[in-house]
Structure 1
Amino acid sequence: MAEHIAFLTIPAAGHINPTLPLVAELVRRGHRVTYATGPAFGDAVRAAGAELVELDWEPKAIKVARTGQTTEDLARMLSSFVNSARRVTPAVEKWLVDDRPDLFVYDMMTFIGPALAAKLGLLEASTVANFAGNEHFNLTQALVPADFDPTHPKFQEFLAARAQYAKDFDVPLETVATAGAIAPMNLVFIPREFQLSGETFDGRFHFAGPAIGARTAVSDWTSPGSPLLFISLGTAVNDRPDFFTTCAKAFGNTNWNVAMAIGNEVNLADLGEIPPNFDIRPYFPQPLVLQHADVFLSHAGMNSVMESLLNQVPLATYPQTAEQSANANRVIELALGHRLPNDVTPDALRATVDKISTDETIRKNLAEMAAHIHTAGGAPGAADALESYLAKNR
């Protein structure tokens, strides 16, 4: 039976990209899918077959301290979530009222989702692009900086703004969680074997693993050959010319072919002379590059980690936020790569990449994790889970 399924996702590549293969699969099965997010991702949403509901919602560059994310950094980021939610909530509510869906699927980081689901009495599910949380595993503790201080004035400002949002939009305060809200059905885009405390998650959670699907696009990029090192700090926290300069010093004029994504915040001229073995662009077609890469030097965003594991590419991680640090630590725990210190030198960086590129234990563990990913079910399995959930709640 064809249903109307509505998606709401924050305008961030790491959260939208994992949903697109699922959207494409649902459309292929005959469902009508509407998808609300910012205009920057409109083409990708339409390419997956969904009807775009364009919101005044732009991705914002996140600033963090050079020594790692602080409580103040986190508070500013969360406050920006509240400000953007204030701007788009009226449009989201109007969309859901005027075109009421059979199922409302919202990103776990989009607190507008559970708030409006409760207010409007919608059948709801969530998509989880990072670690999931439950009653046994406190996700919040994994996502806060090491120096986290809930009494910090900026964090208190965020809490006050969140409470005012709930009051102004007449939604239950308990639904306005910043992360970790548990929906009746939760689609998690990692395999259970990578999830922290994975054995504690019950049938409300479907661990679908990652899928590429609709993200594989035509590109002018071709592999320069092996060995290939791919370097990227993702799309949210990448204003690090110092780090990219360190990479150029570490791998310039070596046997490594280097594809380095520097984002839109860094001026190429600030990096100095570009070594001839470097291809530097704002962004690369990441799924395609990872099909050829020998090592991925990554910020350890979960989407990037999953795509690396899917392609059995060892990870050298350089996390910028607490969330990314949790991912990087999990990579170490499962012996899938190494983590670099904030003050890494060119020599240490080169030594780490050289080491993991030939580490047989890491290669073995990557093959095992890739097998778990392939058996998780991907987009078809996630679509099956949603259809079963819908059938039980008709």
Structure 2
Amino acid sequence: MSRRAHIAMVSIPAHGHVNPSLELIRELVSRGHRVTYANDASFAEVVSSTGAELVPYRSTLPRPGEPWPEDTAAQLDVFLDDAISMLPQLRAAYEHDRPDLFLYDIGCSTARILAENWGLPCVQLSPASVAWEGYEQDMAPLMEWLRTDPGAVAHHRRYTEWLASCGVAQPDSLGFVGRPPRGLVLIPRALQPHEDRVDRQRFTFVGPCFGDRSGQGSWQRPPGAQKVVLVSLGSAFTQQPAFYRACLAAFGGLPGWHVVLQIGKNLRPDELGAIPANVEVHPWVPQLAVLEQADAFVTHAGMGGSQEGLACGVPMIAVPQASDQFANADQLVALGVARRLDTEQATPEALRSALLQLTEDPQVATRLAALRKQSREEGSAARAADVLEAEFLSETRAAAR
């Protein structure tokens, strides 16, 4: 049994951080809970579609199309500056409307600060892999960079000092972000490195929370298309005309294959040259609807696309572009269901060879079938909501408070 509670979700205005939580938010609202969702006003429509109430704050993160610094430490500072700006806004918004539970994205340490200040429970929602026991030793090059790079050292000193000034009990910036008191991991266990060494008292894997996406539109496999390959680098890495031309050269006219090419909103099809007859080009496609009918997927290996590929049982050619995509690509390769081609390696010959090898290997098909079954069985918004209600919103807990 659970009671109607006020649950506050806090996230940043980035689709890769917002989208993974939307079905859980919708599920909590459907169970009668009041859910407020703190985010930039630019995400008002996305938030309202779940039934949650938007609590607007002004984010300082770069808007779509605005430049980010190239230096990694400077990028971290961008997120820290946003958190510092966000905290007083959230404190004012929730001071007289305190929730029973804070949920927060990995990019929103502000929610955990408020929870600690006010003695409230909080749960981190992770749309990416989490730290495991021995992480620091296994990631020695990264940890060495954090300890020695002047920009990284300055960043974490400033972060730690800010946490201390906010009254956080253990203001170590790395531990504060990477070791939450409680966390739900919104990815398949198969995509978590060293999954067997993740602290199950701290983290619970609830898998990807897919929901009804009919509102995004549909896609139908063309008559006569024997096999379909989807090519998509998501929404943030689409300024890649040379890569798209390589895909056209690799797959255009390939017997039996139909190609769905998503190029984003900033490129025009005529910039790619002649489009082969077996290729359709779009600025955007309903990705999951295509993958459910596809036979292969050329992806940048973002976590969203990677888990959608596994859920649909589709072999992948991973062409990572940034951040965790390189690790995701390596994890997919380790699972035996993908080939990794970095951008400079993604020649027409390499792309075509990878496609044919992956789709003609029966062992790849067997592994994909098992992973597809595992992914669909472990993930659901209902399971995630059950965990939250059992641990934080039960009648017993309510009575004790």
Q: Do both share a fold (TM > 0.5)?
A: yes
Cα gap change, 1:187 to 1:267, in 2 (>3 Å): same
Given that 2:132 and 2:195 are in contact with CA atoms closer than 8 Å, whether structure 1 keeps it comes out as no
- Larger Rg, first or second structure (1 or 2): 2
Amino acid at match of 1:358: E
**2:383 pairs with 1:386:** no
Rate the CA distance shift 1:275–1:95 in 2: closer, same or farther, 3 A: farther
1:393 CA drift (Å): 4.8
Q: How does 1:314-329 map to 2 (within 5 A)?
A: 314-329=315-330
Task: Write the letter of the residue equivalent to 2:318.
Answer: T
Give 2:84's aligned residue.
86
Shift of 1:366: 1.2
Unpaired runs of 5+ residues, structure 1, are 65-70
Runs of 5+ consecutive residues of structure 2 not aligned to the other structure: none
Identity rate of aligned residues, in percent? 33
Q: Distance in 1 between matches of 2:141 and 2:270?
A: 34
**Aligned twin of 2:39:** 37
After alignment, is 157-166 or 32-41 more displaced?
157-166
RMSD: 3.0
Pairwise CA distance, 1:167: 6.4
Q: 1:143 to 1:125 in 2, by over 3 A?
A: farther
Name the residue aligned to 1:229: 229
Closer/same/farther in 2, CA of residues 388 and 50 from structure 1, 3 Å limit: same
Compared CA separation, residues 208 and 11, structure 1 to 2 (3 A):
same
Partner of 1:67: none
**For the residues of structure 1 that align with 2:317 and 2:140, how far apart are their CA atoms?**
20
The CA deviation string for residues 297-330 of structure 1, in whole angstroms up to 9 with x for no partner, is: 1111111111111111111101112411111111
Q: Is the 8 A contact 2:41 2:57 kept in 1?
A: yes
State the alpha-carbon separation in 2 of the partners of residues 175 and 338 from structure 1. Answer: 38
| Alpha-carbon shift at residue 377 of structure 1 (Å) | 4.2
Q: For residue 15 of structure 1, what is the aligned residue in structure 2?
A: 17
Structure 1 residue 20, shift from structure 2 partner: 1.1
Deviations 1:353-392 (A, max 9, x none): 1221222111111111122122214111101000011137
Return the offset for 1:203. 3.0
1:139–1:369 Cα change, 3 Å: farther
Cα distance change on mapping 1:305 and 1:157 into 2, 3 Å:
same
Q: Indicate if the aligned counterparts of 1:309 and 1:366 stay in contact, CA closer than 8 A.
A: yes
Q: Alpha carbons of 1:56 and 1:177: their partners in 2 closer, same or farther (altered >3 Å)?
A: farther
Map 1:307-318; keep pairs closer than 5 Å: 307-318=308-319
Where do residues 1-394 of structure 1 align in structure 2 (5 Å cutoff)? 1-57=3-59, 59-60=63-64, 73-138=71-136, 141=139, 148=145, 150-159=147-156, 161-163=158-160, 165-166=162-163, 174=171, 176-177=173-174, 180-200=177-197, 201-219=199-217, 221-224=219-222, 225-255=225-255, 256-266=257-267, 268-344=269-345, 345-390=347-392, 391=394, 393-394=397-398
Instruction: Give the distance between the partners of 2:138 and 2:88, measured in 1 at CA.
Output: 28
1 CA distance for matches of 2:370 and 2:251?
30
- Deviation sequence 1:110-162 (CA, Å, 0-9, x none): 222323322332210010111111444349939959x9565344434533553
Check the 8 A contact 2:188/2:379 in 1, yes or no: no
Name the CA distance, whole Å, in 1 between partners of 2:272 and 2:246.
9
Please give the TM-score of this superposition, normalised by the length of structure 1: 0.87
How many residues align structurally? 387
Distance, in Å, in 2 between the alignment partners of 1:63 and 1:237 is: 13
Q: 1:268 Cα shift?
A: 4.6
Question: What is the Cα deviation at residue 210 of structure 1?
Answer: 0.9
CA distance in 2, matches of 1:111, 1:121: 15
TM-score (structure 2 length as normaliser) = 0.86
The answer (yes or no) to whether the contact 1:142–1:326 under 8 Å persists in 2 is no
For residues 139 and 127 of structure 1, the distance between their equivalents in structure 2, rounded to whole angstroms, comes to 24
SS of equivalent to 1:2: coil
